[in-house]
A and B are shown apart, each in its own frame.
Chain A
Amino acid sequence: MSDHDSSSEHISSIGSSIAIWIALLVGTVVTVLAANTDLGPFNIIVALTIATIKATLVVLFFMHVKYTHEKLVPLVIVSAIFFLFLLLGLSMADYATRLWH
Chain B
Amino acid sequence: MATAAVVETGERENYLNATYGLKSWLLTVDHKRIALLYLISITFFFFIGGFFALLIRLELLTPAGDLVQSDVYNKLFTMHGQVMIFFFLIPAVPAVLGNFLIPIMIGAKDLAFPKINLLSWYLYIIGGTLMIYTILAGGVDTGWTFYTPLSTEFLDTNVISAALAVFVAGFSSILTGLNFIVTIHRMRAPGMTWNRLPLFVWSHYATSIIQVLGTPVVAIAIVLVALERLLHLGIFNPALGGDPLLFQHLFWFYSHPAVYIMILPGMGIISEVVCCFSRKRIFGYKAMALALLGIAVIGFLVWAHHMFVAGISLYAALVFSLLTYFVGVPSAIKVFNWTATMYKGSITYQTPMLYAFAFIGLFTIGGLTGLFLASLGIDVHVTDTYFVVAHFHYVMVGGMVVAYLAGMHFWWPKISGRMYPEGWGKLAALLVFVGFNLTFFPQFILGYMGMPRRYHAYPPEFQVLNVLSTAGATVLAVGYLLPMVYFLWSMRYGPLAPANPWGAAGLEWQTSSPPPTFNFEDQPVVTWEAYNYDEIPDPEEDPGAN
Contacts and interface: CB of A to CB of B under 8 A. Distances in A.
Q: Are A and B close enough to touch in the complex, i.e. CB under 8 Å? A: yes
Interface of A: 72, 79-80, 83, 86-87, 90-91, 93-99
Contacts of B320: 90
Contact of A98 (B246, B253, B313, B319): B313
Interface of B: 185, 209, 213, 217, 243, 245-246, 249, 253, 300-301, 303-304, 312-316, 319-320
B253 A97 contact: no
A98 B213 contact: no
Contacts, number: 41
B316 A93 contact: yes
A81 to B, nearest CB: 11
A80 B213 contact: yes
Contacts of B213: 79-80, 83
A90 B245 CA distance: 13
A90 B312 CA distance: 12
A77 B531 CA distance: 34
A99 to B, nearest CB: 7
23 contacts: A79-B213, A83-B300, A86-B300, A90-B301, A90-B303, A90-B304, A90-B319, A93-B315, A93-B319, A94-B245, A94-B249, A94-B304, A94-B312, A94-B316, A95-B243, A95-B313, A97-B313, A97-B314, A98-B312, A98-B313, A98-B316, A99-B313, A99-B314
A95 B312 CA distance: 8
Contacts of B245: 94
Contacts of A93: 313, 315-316, 319
Nearest to B257: A83
A99 B316 CA distance: 11
Contact of A91 (B209, B249, B300, B314): B249
Given A80-B213, A97-B313, A99-B313, A86 B249 contact: no
B312 A72 contact: no
| Leading 3 A-B pairs by shortest Cβ distance | A94-B316, A97-B313, A98-B313
* Chain A binding surface SS class: helix
A93 B315 CA distance: 8
A79 B304 CA distance: 21
Given A91-B246, A93-B315, A99-B313, 8 more contacts: A79-B213, A83-B300, A86-B300, A93-B316, A94-B249, A95-B313, A97-B313, A98-B312
Nearest to A96: B313
Nearest to A98: B313
A82 B327 CA distance: 19
A79 B245 CA distance: 26
A72 B316 contact: no
A8 B301 CA distance: 34
A87 B245 CA distance: 14
B313 to A, nearest CB: 4
B315 A97 contact: yes
Contact of B217 (A87, A96, A97): A87
Contacts of A79: 209, 213
Given A79-B213, A91-B249, A94-B249, A86 B301 contact: yes
Contacts of A83: 213, 300
Contacts of B303: 90
A94 B217 contact: no
A86 B297 CA distance: 11
Nearest to A93: B316
A83 B301 CA distance: 10
A95 B250 CA distance: 13
A73 to B, nearest CB: 11
Nearest to B243: A95
Contacts of B315: 93, 97
Given A72-B185, A97-B313, A99-B313, A87 B304 contact: no
A83 B246 CA distance: 17
A94 B315 CA distance: 7
B260 to A, nearest CB: 14
B126 to A, nearest CB: 27
A97 B317 CA distance: 10
Contacts of A90: 301, 303-304, 316, 319-320
B185 A94 contact: no
A12 B245 CA distance: 47
| Max chain A C-beta neighbours (<10 A), residue from B209, B303, B315, B316 | B316
Given A83-B213, A87-B217, A94 B300 contact: no
A97 B249 CA distance: 15
Contacts of B300: 83, 86
